[in-house]
Chain A
Amino acid sequence: QVQLQESGPGLVKPSETLSLTCTVSGGSISRGYWSWIRQSPGKGLECIGYIHYSGSTNYNPSLKSRVIMSVDTSKNQFSLKLSSVTAADTAVYYCATEELTGTYWYFDLWGRGTLVTVSS
C-alpha cells in the first residue's frame, strides 16, 4: 500500500529556510492532492498547504508569504520550503494525503512525521 516518508534536516537556524521532502512509495504521486501539516510541541494540528500532482498549490493564508511547495513526479516526491523561520516554526512536520474521496480536506494517509527544531 501507499506509504509516505518525510526527510530533511532536523535543525534549522532562525531566519533560514526549512526544507523537507516527502517520498511516496507503493503507489504513484500522479493522482490527487498532497499536503503538509505541522504540530507544534504539545499543541494542535495546522495545515500548511497542499499541492496537486499537476503542480497547482494552495497555502494557509497565515504562512503563504513564506511557503513554497513543489512536486517531482519522476521521483515520486513532493517538497516543502518554509523561509525566514523562527522558534515558532518548531514542530513535527507531517506529509499527508487522502485516498478515500480524492479531496484535499481529509487526511487518511500520513507520514511518520519529522521533528524540525529552529534554534541557533
Chain B
Amino acid sequence: QSALTQPRSVSGSPGQSVTISCTGTSSDVGGYHYVSWYQQHPGKVPKLMIYDVSKRPSGVPDRFSGSKSGNTASLTISGLQAEDEADYYCCSYVGTYTFVVFGGGTKLTVL
C-alpha cells in the first residue's frame, strides 16, 4: 500500500488560511469516510486533529476543518497562528488487512 500524497511544505502568514491536500485512491481516501489528520510539533507526539474526514476531537480549535472530494482529502487551517507551525499527516483507513496508511507529511510554516 503506497503512502498518501501530501505536499512537502505549505506556508502562510498569521491570520491567513492554508489548505493541505492528501491524495489517495479509491481504495483508501476515496473508498472510506475514515480520514484523519495529525499535527506534530518538532520532538513531540502526534496529535489527532480531525477524524471521520471532518470531525474535531474535543479541544481542537474550530479553525481546523477537514473535507474530502473523491480521492483527495483536505485540511484547512483558518486564522493561522504561530503555534500552528508543525508537520501535518493525513491518514486513511484502507480495509481490514492493511487497515491504515499515512501521508508523507506536510511542513506548515507560519511566515
Interchain CB contact under 8 A, B99 and A45: no
For residue B111, which residues in chain A have a CB less than 8 angstroms away from its CB? none
Size range of the interface on A? 20 to 34
Of A14-22, A66-74, A79-87, A107-115, which binds chain B? A107-115
CA of A106 to CA of B3, assembled, Å: 16
Known contacts A100-B57, A106-B36; decide if A112 and B45 are in contact (CB<8 Å). Answer: yes
A34-74 Cβ-contact flags toward B at 8 Å (1 or 0): 00000000001111001000000010111000000000000
> Chain B interface: which size bin?
20 to 34
**9-residue interface stretch from B62-70, B71-79, B89-97:** B89-97
Contacts of A46 in B (CB 8 A): 102
In residues 22-77 of chain B, which contact A (Cβ within 8 Å)?
Answer: 34, 36, 38, 45-46, 48, 51-52, 57
Is there contact, CB below 8 Å, between A44 and B34? no
Write out, one digit per residue, whether chain B residues 85-111 have a CB within 8 A of any chain A CB (1) or not (0).
000010101001111111111000000
Which A residues have a C-beta under 8 Å from some C-beta of B? 44-47, 50, 58, 60-62, 94, 100-101, 103-108, 110-113
The list of the 6 closest CB pairs from A to B, nearest first, reads A105-B93, A108-B48, A45-B102, A110-B45, A44-B105, A47-B100
Binding site for A on B (CB under 8 A): 1, 3, 34, 36, 38, 45-46, 48, 51-52, 57, 89, 91, 93, 96-105
